Amino acid sequence: MANLFILATLLLTILSHQATSQQCNVPGVCIGQTVGSVESFDQYECLSACSDAPDCTWFSSDENSGFCGLFQTCDEISTEDCAECVSGEVSCPIPTSSPETTTDNSDDTAKYLFVAGGFPGGASDTCEIVSLVEGSPIPECLERLARHPNNLYKSGGGALPDAGLPHVCGGGSNYEPFDECWQYSPSNDTWTMTSDQIPREVNSAASTYHPAWGIIMAGGISCQFCDELTANVTTTKNAVDFEELAPMPTGISSTQHCIAAIDADTIFTTGLGIEEDESFMYYRSTGQWVSVPNLPTGRSGMGCGVVTDGSGRAEVVVVGGIDKDAFINAFLNTVEIFNVEEGSWRTAINPFPVENGYLAVAQDGETFYALGGWAGGLINFLDTIYRYEVSDESWQMMPYRMKHTRYETTAMMVKSSIFPTCD
């Protein structure tokens, strides 16, 4: 009898230890080996995505921005890298009757494309939103948004996780200022400066947005009216405070490369060097840039988007650009794909529908949109929007176009719910 009591006590001790050792709802984002990321505005939906993903043992969720990181390992959890994130193990329970798991019929996650600035005819201060759903055009009261206070060209931008409002930082060419960030407020249709203290002039930098990194601005021109290039990499999560990452490798700088954030630990860039084909990945966990195989078709002025293939593996899609070997501008429709896990390139099954350079990319969860661009010639500028289809590596034209043709524009995804309703 005593033996049974001891056995029962031991069993309860083991179960109690297992329960207390399980880590759930931990503030911050995992730093470790990733298996991919998806878009989810629900913590428990993110947990379910981790359960469905091979090798996923940890997840990190930011319900404000829609970031859902899936991790094979979680060496540490950082609140500095994502203060709004919550992390947990894949074994964490999913409440059966919590409000987070109920259906929200308000369609709060419906999205628009927010577009600001760009050519032709010189940099522009015009801004607009574009619907992605056929039969649901932009309401009339939202067809004319407030102009940006500056002319914008090749600026960085993203819907930062302070209610997901659009932010734009820096500029390009001779269109200063280069050290300002601005926030657009849909409730009163106004732009407000958040900072004029970017640590460097962000002039013609390659840029992208990721919820765990914020706005990333890499390279560019170090001063106005000069040809001196910089390899600096600057990020911001709130358009007020800025972080300088390790510069791109010594001697490698550009204004016409592209950059993409793969996950909370990894950034990818390509189109660097004399041949415009050198590629690198930056790891936050080590603070270092690592060389990866060169882009097969050297080019400039291309777009880069991150996708997740059918096996849950991250890939970077490089689309369009200007052929480095052409005597005069030769615009490309070539699409090449870098598989992050394998470290290898392949040519996509389908090229882009038109030859295109200086297009914008707006990341959207497991795929992305390609906007506008320049198809060559004197006036062949584009107002089209295409979504990349991962399943067959094709391009789907969206039902609505931008009101203006644009290239070197700034584009980002925003929730439609941040905009007021029309009377």
Q: Distances from the Cα of 293 to the Cαs of 32, 85, 281, in angstroms? A: 23, 33, 10
H-helix or E-strand spanning residue 234:
strand 233-236
Phi-psi category of residue 270: left, alpha or beta, with phi > 0 → left and psi -120 to 50 → alpha = beta
H-helix or E-strand spanning residue 35:
strand 34-39
The dihedral through the CA atoms of 389, 31, 164, 243 has a sign that is negative
pLDDT of residue 339: 97
CATH topology of domain 111-418: Neuraminidase (2.120.10)
Residue 217 to residue 370: CA distance in whole angstroms = 19
DSSP state of 189: T
Strand ranges (E), 46-118: 58-62, 67-71, 76-78, 86-89, 111-116
The DSSP annotation for 274-298 comes to TTT-EEEEEETTTTEEEEEPPPSS-
Residue 86 to residue 264: CA distance in whole angstroms = 13
Residue 301 to residue 324: CA distance in whole angstroms = 10
Task: Report the predicted TM-score, pTM, of the whole model to 2 decimal places.
Answer: 0.78
The dihedral through the CA atoms of 228, 232, 233, 239 has a sign that is negative
Q: Give the CB-side neighbour count of residue 301, counting CA atoms within 13 A.
A: 22
Q: Judging by beta carbons within 10 Å of its beta carbon (0-12, 13-18, 19+), is residue 220 exposed, middle or buried? A: buried
Q: Judging by beta carbons within 10 Å of its beta carbon (0-12, 13-18, 19+), is residue 86 exposed, middle or buried? A: buried
Count the neighbouring beta carbons within 10 Å of the beta carbon of residue 111: 23
pLDDT of residue 21: 61
Residue 53 DSSP SS3: coil
pLDDT in tens, 130-154: 999 999 999 999 999 999 999 998 8
Q: Which CATH architecture has domain 2-101?
A: 3-Layer(bba) Sandwich (3.50)
Q: Could you tell me where the DSSP H helices lie in 352-423?
A: none
Residues of the chain with pLDDT under 50: 1-20, 97-108
Tokens standing for residue 135 = 């039969």
Q: Distances from the Cα of 366 to the Cαs of 27, 36, 183, 353, 397, in angstroms? A: 24, 9, 26, 21, 17
Q: In angstroms, how far is CA 172 from the centroid of its own chain?
A: 20
DSSP state of 242: -
Residue 4 to residue 226: CA distance in whole angstroms = 83
Instruction: Give yes or no on whether 2-101 and 111-418 have one common fold.
Output: no
Q: Under 8 Å CB-to-CB from 386, ≥6 apart: which residues?
A: 352, 353, 369, 370, 395, 396, 397, 398
Tokens 């878009």 locate to: 39
Tokens standing for residue 80 = 């500095």
The verdict on whether omega for the bond into residue 161 sits within 30 degrees of 0, i.e. cis, is no
Count the neighbouring beta carbons within 10 Å of the beta carbon of residue 85: 29
The verdict on whether omega for the bond into residue 120 sits within 30 degrees of 0, i.e. cis, is yes
Query: CB–CB of 202/230 below 8 Å?
Result: no
| Domain range list for the chain | 2-101, 111-418
User: ∠ at Cα 269 (74, 208), nearest 5°?
Assistant: 80
What's phi and psi for 62, nearest 5 deg? -120, 100
Q: Sort strands 266-272 and 29-31 into parallel, antiparallel or unpaired.
A: unpaired
Q: Under 8 Å CB-to-CB from 149, ≥6 apart: which residues?
A: 125, 182, 191, 193
